[in-house]
Structure 1
Amino acid sequence: MMRSLWSAASGMKGQQVSVDTIANNLANVNTTAYKSQSTQFKTLLYQTMQSTSTNGQGETKPTSAQVGLGTRVASINANFTQGSQLAKDSPTAMCIIGNGFFAVEDGDETHYTRNGDFTWALDDGGNKVLTTSEGYKVLDQAGRPITVPNTVEKGFTVNPDDASISYQNPDGTYTNTGQSIALYQFTNRVGLDKIGENLYDETAASGEPMGEWNTQGVNRSSIAQNYLEGSNVNVADEMVSLIIAQRAYEMNSKAITTSDTMLEQANNLKR
């Protein structure tokens, strides 16, 4: 009887994590380039009820007698489907169409992101540096921060195919900066480590970052300027998942209540 108590309790714990994950998805429904997550479960160990696998006549039985001991969270996986393109009146707004990630510099560390809501900041030399809203510098294919002269006011363009950068001169002509925005892909992007602020870090599970411009066999992404990638959270699907998780939580709670009632009746037999 105690097995049912622990099994149902493990189910309640697992469904609570599922509700937490769904709540986080709904909270980020308007977060730029947010990727929805889903909770995956796995069974715990099974307990063998019989030590032999034969019947009374010594014949081998076709099935075993094992009872499960509940469930636990196996993983929380991100869904990297493409989000919708949202128009924005800023030349530094960029939407990745494809599987690529921007690379940003945080001190001595490099992080990766799908959030292309960039802006300008000034470096020590007075040049404009392309950064995230948190101040992380966007890197080019050589691993350098992307800079333009501080006199550039308009005409900042990014080639959608090769991510090369140009800016407009006062006479109307364009100058190529010689820099191209770096886009990276990963063998297993679901294995990336989420560190907050829409940033990811590489892990042993994700594999090393592969530059799209110099890696054979990679489908190159393109950049849509004046657009941002929206969250891929589907509110209707999340609400359905929330109802399912709630019902599963209630059923596990009912199993605990039923087990408690049965134990109480067993204890009352001696009276």
Structure 2
Amino acid sequence: MMRSLWTAASGMKAQQTSLDTISNNLSNINTTGYKRETTEFRSLLYQSIQKETTDTNGQQKPIGAQVGLGVKVAAIGTSFKQGNMLHTEGQFDFAIEGNGFFMIEQPDGSISYTRNGNFQLAVNAAGGLSLCTSDGNAVLDSTGNPITFDANINTNKLVFDNYGNIKYTDAAGNAQNLGISIGIAQYNNPAGLEKIGESYYKESAASGTPRIEGQDANLQRSIVKNGYLESSSVQAVDEMVDMIVTQRAYEMNSKAITASDEMLQQANNLRS
């Protein structure tokens, strides 16, 4: 009976983590570029009650006698399903249709990656203009350098094509290529990226190294839509259903603990 107590307790802990994940999904239902997370479970060790099982005639049975010792959270995976495109008409709003990530420079000089394309223009230390995120981090081009413009440029004449290439419309109305493109990277295993908060990811040993679009001929390039933002991939109905299932599983495990406690109480009350 003590085994059942700890087994049910492991179930309650696992379901609590699942509820934490669901709560995080719901809290980010309006976060631009957010990707839904799911909790993955795995059974714990099995205890062999009998290594060899035989019938009354001494014949070997085809199955043994093992009992499971509970469950654990194996991983919290991220689904990189494409989110809906929201039309914003923002001049420096971008949404990725495909598997790519925007390349962003962090304050410590490291490179992070995001699907949130809500960008702004800001005055940099040199007096020019830099394309940056809403929290001031520089957006990088395909060579890994911050995207900057001269201070006297007419930003209303900047044009962005479907691959993130930046062009400038001259007086004659012709779009001149500036030789700058927004840096887009892909990963062989995006689920292995490390989350560092604020919709940013960093590469890890599990994700592998980034593959830069436009430089890797084997990649199918993403489409960059200017004037759009990618919405969260969280669906409220799915999360509510998962929450109900998680709550019921938690309740059943708690009842198993209560039943085990009552059985132990009865055993303690036995008198010879």
TM-score between both structures, scaled by the size of structure 1: 0.96
- Matches of 2:255 and 2:125, distance apart in 1: 64
* Alignment check: 8 A CA contact 2:192 2:206 kept: yes
Query: Which runs of structure 2 are paired with 1:248-263 in the superposition (5 Å)?
Result: 248-263=249-264
* Alignment check: 8 A CA contact 1:154 1:167 kept: no
* Alignment check: 8 A CA contact 2:51 2:64 kept: no
The SS at the match of 2:50 is coil
* Alignment check: 8 A CA contact 2:159 2:175 kept: no
Query: Which runs of structure 2 are paired with 1:20-169 in the superposition (5 Å)?
Result: 20-106=20-106, 107-151=108-152, 152-160=154-162, 162-169=163-170
- Matches of 1:174 and 1:127, distance apart in 2: 21
Unaligned runs of 5+ in 1: none
Q: Give 2:110's aligned amino acid.
A: E
* Alignment check: 8 A CA contact 1:14 1:72 kept: yes
Q: Work out the percentage of aligned pairs sharing the same amino acid.
A: 49
Q: Does 1:223 align with 2:224?
A: yes
- Matches of 2:7 and 2:228, distance apart in 1: 48
Segments ≥4 residues shifted beyond 6 Å: none
- Matches of 2:171 and 2:201, distance apart in 1: 39
Q: Which moved more, 1:232-241 or 1:214-223?
A: 214-223
CA shift, 1:173, in A, is 4.3
Query: Which runs of structure 2 are paired with 1:171-210 in the superposition (5 Å)?
Result: 172-210=173-211
- Matches of 2:158 and 2:81, distance apart in 1: 29
The SS at the match of 1:3 is helix
Unaligned runs of 5+ in 2: none
What root-mean-square deviation, in Å, do the aligned CA atoms of Structure 1 and Structure 2 show?
1.4
The SS at the match of 1:49 is strand
Per-residue CA deviation, residues 166-196 of structure 1 (Å, 9 max, x unaligned), is: 1334664443221111111101101110100
Q: Give 1:157's aligned amino acid.
A: V
- Matches of 2:168 and 2:198, distance apart in 1: 29
- Matches of 1:82 and 1:185, distance apart in 2: 14
1:163–1:22 distance in 2 versus 1, CA, 3 Å? same
* Alignment check: 8 A CA contact 1:95 1:223 kept: yes
1:6 is aligned to 6
Per-residue CA deviation, residues 173-223 of structure 1 (Å, 9 max, x unaligned), is: 443221111111101101110100100011111111011212232211010
Q: Number of aligned pairs?
A: 270
